[in-house]
A and B are shown apart, each in its own frame.
Chain A
Amino acid sequence: MAERPLSPHVTVYRWGYTMTLSILHRITGIALFLALVGFIAWLTAAAMGPGAYARAMIIMDSLPAELLIALALLALCFHFCNGLRHLAWDMGWGFERAQARRSAVVVIVVSVLAAAAVLYLLLRAGAA
């Protein structure tokens, strides 16, 4: 029983960049769980009243928090795009190796562009 093989035989295969996307989907998933904790903390501060909300916003407006928010946004865009790719696979679409490699490039490009666009709008709103 103790020697049963465990599911992801990560070290067995030659590394391909589609595998990087696969592990990134898990890493960004965990990151988004942490972002959810932060988002609900922010909601709770708003529910507690103006004083608590003002104190929360002092933390939110610090540079480390802003960097974390930017990373969370990038994680959301990637997990969203790659999640759609997974759902397409679940329906049997795009499962050929060449298609999966092409969609991997699309996911990377679209998610970085989408995160950059949202960040740009966020910074512009913050500056105004």
Chain B
Amino acid sequence: MSLRTPLARVLNQGAARDGVHHWLVQRVTAVALAPLSVWLTLSLLRLPDRGYGAVTAWIGAGVHPVLLALTVGLAAWHAWLGIQVVVEDYVAQPALKAPLLLLSAFTNALLVASGVYAVLRIALRSLA
């Protein structure tokens, strides 16, 4: 069942262009980020010190690389969706809106790639 009206489907001109999917993914990433952000904050607080050894040992230990990669990926995904809403609401000129949306998409993709790469590099180094 679709909640879209036939007219909206024909015109394909909803304000968000893709209906309820954007809204839903924003909520799903929010629900996932809630426990992850608590875990990350408490973990960083509980580090014995902030030196290179303690930090990289913590990043590479057990399930930490997986949770960190998830946190980075979901946070960037959530940020991409959120920034899109803000830009669409406050930036009316297409000449400015489109570049801002592209910049946000590329920056967040870059954040995921570099964050996951950094975590993997630290985790795999501690295995070697």
Decide whether A and B are members of one complex.
yes
- A residues bordering B, Cβ < 8 Å? 6-8, 26, 29-30, 32-33, 36-37, 39-40, 43-44, 46-47, 50, 53-54, 57, 73, 76, 80, 83-84, 86-87, 90, 118, 121-122, 125
- B residues bordering A, Cβ < 8 Å? 15, 27, 30-31, 34, 37-38, 41, 45, 47, 50, 52, 55-56, 59, 68, 72, 75-76, 79, 82-83, 86, 88-90, 92, 107-108, 111, 114-115, 117-119, 121-122
Tell me the complex Cα distance, A49–B68, Å.
18
Task: Tell me whether A47 and B117 are in contact (CB under 8 A).
Answer: yes
Tell me the complex Cα distance, A40–B30, Å.
19
The binding surface of chain A is classed by DSSP as helix
Task: Tell me whether B52 and A33 are in contact (CB under 8 A).
Answer: no
List the B residue with the shortest CB-CB distance to A124. B45
Known: A30-B86, A43-B119, A50-B52. 7 other contacts (CB 8 A): A33-B83, A33-B108, A37-B111, A39-B72, A43-B59, A76-B41, A80-B37
